[in-house]
Structure 1
Amino acid sequence: MVHILIAALNQMRDERDAAISTIATLVKERTRIRAHMTTKSRSPEKPNSLYRNVGLDENCPDFLLKAARMAYRKHFHPDVHPERDRAEAENRFKEVEAVFEKITRLRGR
């Protein structure tokens, strides 16, 4: 009877040690991932955020990128707005064009 109890206690101790080891590994991994995510969030402008600024996905085909650019150009071009809204439209037009230029450079075209 004593041998059975000792064997059960030894098995429980081994399981406890394995659980502690697993927890330690998980804590280290969590710390590493948090550090990585913090580093990524510090980047000034991620490519994906550029695409989101103009309502596109990073993996969109070129023809869709060109079509979106043309649609933004037509919508924000200062000449199609009343005089009172032209300055704002021109600023937005320039911002959107800058985003599309960055995307084009990122894609290497």
Structure 2
Amino acid sequence: MNAPPQDPRLKAVSLAGRWQRLVQSHLPLRGGPCACLLGVGNIAVADFEQDLMDFLHARYNGGGKMDRHFVRAGRNQDAAGSLAGLLQSIAQDPQPDADADRLLEGLESSLRSLESSH
């Protein structure tokens, strides 16, 4: 049997917590690099967050369907925005739609991949 679909607002809150744990676990010990995927080369967490935001925007904002959430997250011509802000916007949406759910599914897949490297 399949579990009933999770409310996108609750999923957004859960993913925000997972992202925060990943960011915190990436902090290098003793000034050395983290051994995870984010520690390869000179990729900082902030850079990875911006890459992830760019990916989510390109993949899940076709036709501007998610513009309101990306704008609330601080995305504009000069900045990719904040993943925490994006998730907060979705979590506070009175009626999140299927587009938000697809974005969250894609983000969950990305976070699962990162978690497996820690």
Same-fold status (TM-score > 0.5): no
Larger radius of gyration: 1
Greater RCO, CA 8 A, separation 6+: 2
What is the TM-score normalised by the length of structure 2? 0.28
* Bigger helix share: 1
